[in-house]
Structures are given as structure tokens and as C-alpha cells.
Amino acid sequence: MADGCSVPAVEPDAGACPACGARGVAVQLQTVKALLTEIALRRIRPTHYRFCGSRACEVVYFGDSGDRFGTDEIRVPVWQKRSPGSRVLCYCFGEGEAVIRDELVESRRADVVDRIRQHIAAERCACDIRNPRGACCLGDVIAAVMRIEAETVGGRTNDGLLTHLPHR
């Protein structure tokens, strides 16, 4: 069983964000439709859209036809556009930095990766629609656990083993 959810097909030339120049990541039209506010949805066109993950840029989605949608036009907070601290990373199950930090402080172990893997195995995730990037969050969550673990407990448990990846 793979660790991730299904990943949408990416166009060969993903293009650059017209606002900041960052490389865009192709997202499915249904993802954009699902996450736009009601007012922003009135402007959507049937074209290819890309996600801009640059924190310094307000644009979340941009299309081949020149349209752009900013952070204020998305139904959920886009974690890539926010400062680290208490961001939600898993849009399907509400897992985020605050939970990871609390688990590490309380038990010196974060079980979030195990929980998400269990949901993936049970085919419960809907990352292609709920996650603004339109892709599985597991890699982002693992990276966040490693970062927060290093900040919180120095990256090691009492027995000296890294806690971010569960035993298989």
C-alpha cells in the first residue's frame, strides 16, 4: 500500500504564477470549484488552473485564461500562505501543527502520521478536493512533524529514536 492518496496528473509545463513568478502546480478544476467562495465561483472559467504555494504571494489559483483567485476568495485557510505555528495541514481530518506540538510535548511522540495512514488505508481521504493544492497532505505532515519535533524535543525521544515516522 502506498503512503499517499491519488495524485492528480500534472501538466508538463506547469507555468509560473503571474503575480510572483513561483512555479505553479496543476490542480483539477473540481478542486478549484469546491474551494472558491460563492462570489469567486461566479468568475471561474473552464480552463487549466494552477496552485501557487508561495507564502509571500496572495494568489492561490491562476488559470490559463489569465484569471486569479486570492486567499480571500478561498473557503479554507491555505496553510502554505500562513505563518507556521497553528496551521491545519490535513484538510480531511483537521490535523495540524498545534496537535503535533501538543502530542510531542505531552508524550514526546506524534501519532498524526499513523492516524492519516490509517485513514488513507481505509480510503477515507478526499485530498484531491479538500486540500487547496489538490494532493495528498502526508508528505507535508511528515515534514511538519520533523520540523516541530526538532524545535520541541530536539528530534529525539528518551531512547534516542526519531519519533516522526512510526514503526512498520
| 38, 73, 108 - which closes a domain | 73
State the CATH number of the domain containing residue 55. 2.20.25
pLDDT digits (tens, 9 = 90+) for 80-109: 999 999 999 999 999 999 999 999 999 989
Which long-range contacts link 113-118 to residues 24+ away (Cβ below 8 Å)?
Answer: 113/138, 113/141, 113/142, 113/145, 113/164, 113/165, 113/166, 114/166, 116/90, 116/141, 117/3, 117/166
Return d(Cα 135, Cα 27) in angstroms, integer. Answer: 8
| Residue-number span of the structural domain to which 121 is assigned | 83-153
**Is this model's pTM higher than 0.85 or not?**
no
Provide the pLDDT for residue 17. 97
Return the C-alpha torsion angle 15, 19, 22, 24, nearest 10.
-40
pLDDT digits (tens, 9 = 90+) for 48-85: 999 999 999 999 999 999 999 999 999 999 999 999 99
Q: What percent of the chain is predicted at pLDDT more than 70?
A: 82
Q: Give residue 142's pLDDT band: very low, low, confident or very high (50, 70, 90).
A: very high
Q: Are residues 30 and 65 in the same domain?
A: yes
